[in-house]
Amino acid sequence: MTQETNLDALIRQRIRGLRIGRGWSLDALAARCFLSPSTLSRIETGHRRIALDQLVPIARALGTTLDDLIESAEEEDVVIRPEPESVPGLTTWLLSREGALNGVTVSKMRITPERTTQHELGVHPGHDWFTVLSGTAELRLGERTILVQAGHAAQFSTMVPHAIRAHGGPVEILTIFDHDGERAHLHPGAGRPKPAGAGSAEPAP
């Protein structure tokens, strides 16, 4: 099977998968992209050659782009191999690629009691989210102190002054920053998310 044939099959699978994922019948998708249900059926099953002028309205109807629909997955490396970045009391692993996941940044953090507690609480636009993998996280949220246990998660507006610390021993968390949160936690001039509380001039998550 040639690379072109592989891509052709992948496009057909994407069209069918996106349609079924939306709970649409062939008739429902056909009405949205102005093709006949029989034409769509032949496209999905490989009994009709895929034409570019058909893919454009299909992609639009499915809420995706032509580029995403025809993108080859042959050379994609799906494994992310994060390198740890450490400061006293905090180690961070970046778990998402730049520009991936619709603009959110995923990272794993290991916080220990060694981390200083003297930093001011940070504030920035948006929302942060984290879940505790092991240990107990102490979330400072304005005047409140909230303990988040392993297996639990927290989501909060980052317009409230906030910081995350270890409580009673090391804690490991998985964090998701939105676009504003990512910008707020960048290393100056480095282009990678800055670990929470890594410097006194930067806000903690």
pLDDT tens digit at each of 205 positions of the chain = 455 577 888 899 999 999 999 999 999 999 999 999 999 999 999 888 888 889 999 999 999 988 888 887 665 667 888 889 888 888 989 888 765 556 678 889 999 998 765 556 888 888 889 999 999 999 999 999 999 999 999 999 989 998 899 999 999 999 987 777 666 653 433 333 444 443 433 334 4
Sheet order of strands, 127-134 included: 85-87, 90-94, 105-111, 171-177, 127-134, 153-157
Q: How far apart are the first and last CA of the chain?
A: 49
pLDDT at 33: 92
**Token couple for 57:** 């309205």
**Token couple for 39:** 């034409």
**Token couple for 20:** 């079924």
List phi, psi (to 5°) of 66. Answer: -60, -40
Beta-bridged to residue 166, according to DSSP, are 137
pLDDT at 50: 85
Cα(109)–Cα(195) distance, rounded to whole angstroms?
Answer: 8
pLDDT at 26: 94
DSSP-derived 3-state class of residue 7: helix
Query: Given the structure tokens 């009691």, which residue do they identify?
Result: 113
